Amino acid sequence: MTAETPLLGAVPELDSMAVVGVIGALEEHFGIFFDDDEIDGQTFATVGSLVDAVKQKVS
């Protein structure tokens, strides 16, 4: 995987419930919290966009 690897629509296992699981795991692992309005399709567009969202919350 690279930063450009697409997530939604490209990884069959990443459905809406999987997205909720990933968000929960990221929140728990990094001690962060995402409000509902902070998560959209762009956040999960690619590996890089997801990493960027986590970086913004951590810093």
pLDDT of 16 above 90: no
Q: What is the pLDDT of residue 1?
A: 85
Task: Tell me the torsion sign for CA atoms 13, 15, 20, 39.
Answer: positive
- How far is C-alpha 4 from the chain's CA centre? 14
Collapse the DSSP code of 56 into the 3-class scheme (helix H, G, I; strand E, B; otherwise coil) and give the result: helix
Residue 53 has pLDDT above 90, yes or no: yes
Does 17 score more than 90 pLDDT?
no
CA atoms within 13 A on the CB side of 29: 8
pTM above 0.75, yes or no: yes
* Whether residue 14 has pLDDT greater than 80: no
Give per-residue pLDDT as tens, 31-46: 999 998 998 889 988 9
How far is Cα 14 from Cα 41, in angstroms, rounded to an integer?
12
